[in-house]
Amino acid sequence: MRHQYKADGTWDVQDIVTFMFPVSLKLNVIKRVKNESDRTAYPLIKEALFNGDKTVLDVVKENQEYFASTFDDISDVGTKMNICYLNETRTAVNEHVHGDKEIKKGQKKMILKGYIKNMTRNGTYVLHSVSRCIFKDDSGKKYNLTKGQYDLFELPYCWTSHAIQGMTITEEMSVFDVRKPKFVTKKAHAQAFWTAITRATTLKNVHVYVGESGAKNLSVASTIKRKIAGHKEYDVSKGFYDEENFVDERWVRKELKNVGRRCYHCNVELSWTGNTQFSIDRYNNDQGHTKENCSVICVSCNKGKH
Ligand SMILES: [Zn+2]
């Protein structure tokens, strides 16, 4: 039995918490998780999230070993199930996983994130006609919407922690926004993260993005810029750098269009993330990353060549 009073007669709050929580923590956790690592990790993480001064990011870093991985570059996201806190993150992650800003007719599982009368919020729909803005639900019922309402739908690759409450996720997933946005309280942020990771059947399915949040860090434009910046650094270090003819964001986007968004080596559809993401490949490695000397191919083929 732990002491509930300190020597001076005041309550020892931390002690009461550790006295009271283990049982309820274990009961909650054992129902969901199957392996020993998770049985150790979940109570530790819960305790650290809710009973102390640590930020979510601190807690993730301290308990890194229990997660599948942590990563800080959005291009490394390899999961089709992703959970975030902010809507702008949701849009950015969807775009990265989808690989194309354009959403075509027949796109399955569009998620209604806003409110439209007679339609289920967070329900799934098929985009039946882009130009006429018609969606179908699972039963085949059609909804004829206005252009403005189109923006209330999202691709299905990223959900907010708010939307996935009550869901069980058996596939691998990534969690975003572990750096606390300024306008969110510490407790609400911890709660959102806890909701996200407790959807998983094991933490070994959970990857955590620990890089900077915010649209400007997660956008496709910044991914292209980051790659170009890396190539510039390389070219400068090798004495190759040719400022006038150096590849830029506009060239990358145009080149992607020219190749029909496919890798000319393996014909895979190029995306912004994972093994099929675009990369800038030089024809002649004794020259720099100039427009004449480069093409876009998938990152796997590019790595395979060198
Ligand atoms: Zn390829």
- Both 150 and 94 in one domain: the answer is yes
What are the CA-CA distances from residue 107 to residues 77, 126, 134, 189, 245 (Å)?
Answer: 21, 6, 12, 32, 38
- Both 133 and 168 in one domain: the answer is yes
Q: Quote the ligand 1 centre to 83 CA distance (angstroms).
A: 29
- Model confidence, pTM: 0.78
| pLDDT recorded at residue 166 | 85
Cα–Cα distance for residue pair 252/144, rounded to 1 Å: 37
Q: Quote the ligand 1 centre to 268 CA distance (angstroms).
A: 6
- Both 293 and 249 in one domain: the answer is yes
Q: Quote the ligand 1 centre to 71 CA distance (angstroms).
A: 23
Cα–Cα distance for residue pair 33/35, rounded to 1 Å: 6
- Both 116 and 212 in one domain: the answer is yes
Q: Does residue 122 form part of some domain?
A: yes
Domain that includes residue 45, residue range: 13-60
Query: pLDDT at residue 18 above 70?
Result: no
- Per mean pLDDT, which range of 121-125, 133-137, 186-190, 280-284 is the poorest? 121-125
Interacting residues of 129 by C-beta distance below 8 A, sequence separation 6+: 105
- Per mean pLDDT, which range of 16-20, 62-66, 170-174 is the poorest? 16-20
Q: Quote the ligand 1 centre to 108 CA distance (angstroms).
A: 26
- Both 239 and 171 in one domain: the answer is no
Q: Does residue 65 form part of some domain?
A: no
Q: Quote the ligand 1 centre to 250 CA distance (angstroms).
A: 22
Q: Quote the ligand 1 centre to 227 CA distance (angstroms).
A: 17
Residue 188, token pair as written in the block: 């609400």
Q: Quote the ligand 1 centre to 270 CA distance (angstroms).
A: 8
Q: Quote the ligand 1 centre to 63 CA distance (angstroms).
A: 36
Sheet holding 81-84, edge to edge: 69-71, 206-209, 173-175, 81-84, 158-160
Q: Quote the ligand 1 centre to 231 CA distance (angstroms).
A: 19
Q: What is the pLDDT of residues 213-225, one digit of tens each?
A: 887 888 888 899 9
Q: Quote the ligand 1 centre to 39 CA distance (angstroms).
A: 41
Q: What is the pLDDT of residues 270-295, one digit of tens each?
A: 988 888 899 999 999 999 999 999 99
